[in-house]
Chains A and B, each alone.
Chain A
């Protein structure tokens, strides 16, 4: 299941492209947009950590990758909630976890 969503903050946009597979597990995710992150590779590390997540705890832990980063133009809590929302949405559509 492919989904995408756009979040706005301070006039910056963040787009989340996500592919969710069996057991509502994140198979692929790209966080893109005109925001800033320091260091830049923290976003790539976050994306890597999110792959395989199928529950909120895993997403929460993945976001620790950003704990020592500065992200401008993105509300990190909004972004995290959006990604958790994709998983919740999947579970509500497919209670057994299948796609």
Chain B
């Protein structure tokens, strides 16, 4: 499995374009199975493919705070990506073996996150469909799309996310919060730093890579984004900036 460490940080439009480019290129056999770890710079919000932007985020707050936002090609909910407190992963690979079944594939791939979190001392658990929780509070959410027999799954891992900003940026239906037994988004989420007091990001990154390697029984090698990946992403990125895409629902 190819691993790309892309932790310097780029804007949300570029990061979403790179993920989509990786999926296209994996489908076409132009790249190996690839795990990418990355950050958003500046901080940003992504919403799920089926979400209505006005139901999912506080647009006035995002605009006033200079927080970029766009829509993902994957389903699921809105996510605040804190440039200084969150690592995002994406992985592209064929939907084969244990990954054929969609629910099981979430379990397998989120298992990498569970492994990484346990490795650094947290009692993490996978909660279907797509969450990883610590002490019942969400620390990671993932989302995947499938095209032509290949999976793109990406997800967040909050190690020191500013949860006050997260709460101001995102909107959750009252019904959803009630179903989770909480009164606010803030009560529903947790970061590694909150639980452990401090975070060794290098160790976390290492544990994540080890987690995916074990979950997929794959040896890893390190690489960088190719010129082809950058070219394809450059052709896609305007979609993620466009009003038409962001406001399509």
Q: B-contacting residues of A (Cβ < 8 Å)?
A: 6, 8, 10-13, 15, 17, 30-40, 43, 70, 72-73
Contacts and interface: CB of A to CB of B under 8 A. Distances in A.
A49 B201 CA distance: 49
Interface of B: 48-52, 55-56, 73-78, 102-103, 128-130, 143-147, 173, 175-176, 179-180, 249
A8 B75 contact: no
Contacts of A34: 48, 50-51, 56, 75-78, 176
A10 B175 contact: no
Nearest to B188: A11
B173 A6 contact: yes
Contacts of B147: 39
B176 A31 contact: no
Contacts of B102: 36, 38, 70, 72
Contact of A32 (B55, B73, B130, B146): B55
A27 to B, nearest CB: 17
B148 to A, nearest CB: 10
Contacts of A40: 49-50, 73, 75, 145
A30 B52 contact: yes
B176 A11 contact: yes
B175 A33 contact: no
Nearest to B127: A11
Contacts of A15: 52, 55, 173
